[in-house]
Amino acid sequence: MGEALRHFPLENGLTDNSRDVIDLTAVLRVGNAEPSSVGGSTWNSRLAVDKAQAHVSHSAYPELEIKVGDKLRAVERPGEPWFEVLSINDRMQGRLIVELGEA
């Protein structure tokens, strides 16, 4: 379960040739799952915001070296949007949680 993403390794904003571009499948969550109104109730529609998370199986991609500043492209979504890696949580058992921002 997930969608196709392409990882582009960068170093100081330039292509990092020491790491390979990798196609992977991951769960990509964009925006808040349950946005709330000012009064605290939830709205029925989802709001698109510039924050996202990618949940990547570490065991499926042991060669993946993802770093802050790298970019991910959602190749199955309309317009193939780009995301920049803001932080990485590798403390979860068996998966990486990658915090993303709009690129």
Render pLDDT for 8-43 as a digit per residue (tens, 0 to 9).
Answer: 999 999 999 999 999 999 999 998 654 444 555 444
Name the residue range of residue 17's domain: 3-33+48-102
List, as one string, the DSSP characters of 54-81: EEEETTT-TT----TT-EEEETTSTT--
Q: Is residue 17 part of a domain?
A: yes
What is the Cα–Cα distance from 58 to 93, expressed in whole angstroms?
9
53 and 74 in contact (C-beta within 8 Å)? Answer: no
Q: Is residue 80 part of a domain?
A: yes
3-state SS assignment for residue 87 = strand
Render pLDDT for 45-81 as a digit per residue (tens, 0 to 9).
Answer: 444 456 899 999 989 999 999 999 999 999 999 999 9
Q: How many domains does the chain have?
A: 1
What is the Cα–Cα distance from 94 to 11, expressed in whole angstroms?
26
